[in-house]
Amino acid sequence: MAQYDSAILLATRLIAKFGAPSVLRRFQDAELADTAKPWRRGEPSTNDIPLNAVFLNFGDMGQAGEQYMPGTNIQTGDKLVFISGGELAGAPQLRDRLYRDGADDDDEGWSIVQVQTIDPNGQQVLHQLQVRR
């Protein structure tokens, strides 16, 4: 048992209890067909990962409206999302998309603007995302 396993289990349990079923769609580049022409890649492949996520308004955290602070850009409509580190092998990437309540054709999903991971000793406990439509 690693040092932070209990924190990971607590985050997973609380997010499962209070979160919504969601899908993280990861995009992966296609392999090079011709190494002499690296600019010609095929379509990227996708991998859908079902998970639970807690969606909050930034206003719920005392950060309402549009703010511009050094290093941040929070716009009206952005959401703060928490995902347990135990549900993913790696942190979400900026090119990934997050879908709330499934990933059907009508849902445009949320683009990921910022990712912060709490990972003491390399153990991913919690991912905090800023997402935008």
Whether 73 is covered by a domain: the verdict is yes
Q: Where are the alpha helices (DSSP H) in the chain?
A: 5-18
Q: Count up the domains in the chain and report the number.
A: 1
| pLDDT digits 0-9 by tens, 23-61 | 999 998 888 777 788 777 777 889 999 999 999 987 655
The CA distance from 121 to 64, in Å, is 34
Closest CA to 103 of 18, 22, 26, 47: 22
Whether 78 is covered by a domain: the verdict is yes
Whether 65 is covered by a domain: the verdict is yes
Residue-range definition of the domain harbouring residue 88: 5-27+43-132
| pLDDT digits 0-9 by tens, 67-117 | 555 456 778 788 999 999 888 888 999 999 999 876 666 778 999 999 999
Tell me if 85 sits within 8 A of 124, measured CB to CB: yes
Predicted local distance difference test score (pLDDT) of residue 70: 47
Average pLDDT, the chain: 84
Whether 34 is covered by a domain: the verdict is no
Q: Is 92 left (phi over 0), alpha (psi -120 to 50) or beta?
A: beta
CATH of the domain at 98: 2.40.10
Predicted local distance difference test score (pLDDT) of residue 44: 82
